[in-house]
Amino acid sequence: MPHLNLEYTANLTNLAVEKTLLRLNNVLMASGQFGSEFDIKSRAVKVESFQVGTSLSPRGFVAVKLSLLSGRSPQVKQQLSQSLLTALQDLGDWPADIQVQLSVQLVDMDRDSYSKVAIG
């Protein structure tokens, strides 16, 4: 735990996905909220079909959903959210011809029903 899901639109062709996931994992580890870097799992999905708003102007998004075991304070969740958003903003040059929205959402997972085992 945690699980980080990153969705990004296909028109963001210069997004270095593996570098982005590693950077976000490092942000999470630096927060001090997680015991082991091995516990942080992230994945990315490129969204081929999407629409942002109603305009025909080129738009895109990068959306992070971070699932955490329940029990963290609102202040800790806000700090994690802001740290991830800042890391996204600092990724580099965003396309000048595409309006890009960046977002981070934190989701509590029920601690009592979560199960995990590491093999190997």
pLDDT along the chain (120 residues), means of 10: 96 96 98 93 98 96 96 96 97 91 95 86
| Nearest 10 degrees: Cα torsion 105, 106, 110, 115 | 90
Dmax over Cα atoms in the chain, in whole Å? 50
Instruction: Enumerate the domain spans of the chain.
Output: 3-113
Evaluate whether 44 touches 20 at the Cβ level (below 8 Å): yes
pLDDT at 37: 94
pLDDT at 110: 86
Choose among 44, 41, 61: nearest CA to 116. Answer: 41
Q: In this structure, which topology does domain 3-113 adopt according to CATH? A: Macrophage Migration Inhibitory Factor (3.30.429)
User: Cα separation of 15 and 3, whole Å?
Assistant: 20
Rg of the chain over all Cα atoms, to the nearest angstrom: 15
User: Cα separation of 75 and 104, whole Å?
Assistant: 15
Reported pTM: 0.92
